[in-house]
A and B are shown apart, each in its own frame.
Chain A
Amino acid sequence: MSRSLIELNNLTYRFRRKDDPVLEDISFSLEKGTFNILVGPGGSGKSTLCRILDGRIPHLLRGDLTGDVFLEGKSALDLEMKDISCCVGSVFQDPETMFATLTVEDEIAFGPENLLRVRDKIREDVEKLLGLTGIGTYRHNLVWNLSGGQIQKLGLASVLAMEPKLIILDEPTANLDPASTSQVHELILSLREQGMTVLLVTRELDEFLAEADQLLVLDRGKLLYRGEPYGILSERGNDLEQRGIWLPETVEIGLELRRRGYPVDRIPVRVRETLELIQQLNLVSEGTVLTGRDSPTRDETASPLIDGRGIRYSYGGGLYALKGVDIAVRPGEMLAIVGRNGAGKSTLAKLLIGLNKCREGSLNLFGKNSRRWKVPDLANHISLVFQNPEHQFLTDTVADEIDYSLQSRGVNDPEERIRERGKMLGQLGLSEEAERHPFTLSAGNKRRLGVATMLVGHPEVLIVDEPTYGQDREMTRTLMTLLREIRDRGIAVVMISHDMRLVSEYADRVVVMSEGLKHFDGNPTELFDKAEILESASLEPTLLFQILKALGEWGVTCRGNIPRTETFIKLLLKEGEVSLG
Chain B
Amino acid sequence: MAEHDLSYKDRGSVLNRVYPLVKLVWVFLIAVGLFLFTRPLSGMVVFLFVLFLALIPGKMRPGEILKSGLIVFGLGFLLMIFHFLIDPGETVWSFGFLQVSDYGLQQGPVFFFRLSGVVLASFILIWTTDTRDLMQSLVKAGMPYRYAYTIFLALRFLPLIQREVESVKAAHAIRGRAAGTTLKHRIILWQRYVFTILINGLRKAENTADALECRAFGYAPERTYVKRIAFRKRDMVLILFTLLLEAGLIAGERLF
Contact = CB atoms under 8 A, between A and B. Distances in A.
Contact of B163 (A100, A117, A140, A144): A144
Interface in B1-17: 1-4, 7-10
Contacts of B189: 394
Interface string A88-121: 1110101011111111001001111111111100
A82 B216 contact: yes
B251 interface: no
A405 B178 CA distance: 7
A90 B215 CA distance: 9
Interface in A29-64: 54-56, 59-61
Interface stretch (B29-37, B90-98, B205-213): B205-213
Given A114-B219, A375-B174, A101 B132 contact: yes
Contact of B176 (A109, A140, A159, A408): A408
A429 interface: no
B224 A100 contact: no
A51 to B, nearest CB: 8
Contacts of B209: 60
A376 B199 CA distance: 25
Interface in B127-184: 130-132, 149, 153, 156, 159-160, 163, 167-168, 170-180
Nearest to A98: B211
B210 A457 contact: no
A489 interface: no
Nearest to B199: A439
Nearest to A404: B178
A408 B177 contact: yes
A394 B194 CA distance: 10
B176 A376 contact: yes
B34 to A, nearest CB: 29
B219 A379 contact: no
A413 to B, nearest CB: 11
B214 interface: yes
B224 A122 contact: yes
A110 B208 CA distance: 13
Interface string B216-254: 111110111111000000000000000000000000000
Interface stretch (A304-312, A383-391, A527-535, A560-568): A383-391
A350 interface: yes
Given A100-B208, A355-B170, A412 B2 contact: no
A283 interface: no
B215 A350 contact: no
A511 B2 CA distance: 24
A470 interface: no
B225 to A, nearest CB: 6
Contact of B213 (A81, A144, A315): A81
A106 B160 CA distance: 18
Interface string A479-517: 000000000000000000000000000000000000000
A100 B156 contact: yes
B254 to A, nearest CB: 44
B186 interface: no
Given A90-B214, A355-B173, A116 B220 contact: yes
Given A114-B215, A394-B175, A404-B175, 12 more contacts: A60-B209, A82-B219, A86-B216, A97-B211, A98-B208, A100-B208, A100-B212, A112-B224, A114-B223, A158-B215, A315-B2, A408-B175
Interface of A: 54-56, 59-61, 81-82, 85-86, 88-90, 92, 94, 96-103, 106, 109-119, 122-123, 126, 140, 142, 144-145, 158-159, 162, 315-317, 321, 342, 350, 353-355, 375-376, 378-380, 383-384, 386, 388, 390-395, 404-405, 407-410, 412, 439, 453, 457
15 contacts: A56-B213, A59-B213, A82-B218, A94-B207, A98-B208, A100-B156, A102-B156, A106-B227, A113-B223, A117-B224, A144-B159, A316-B2, A393-B192, A412-B179, A457-B176
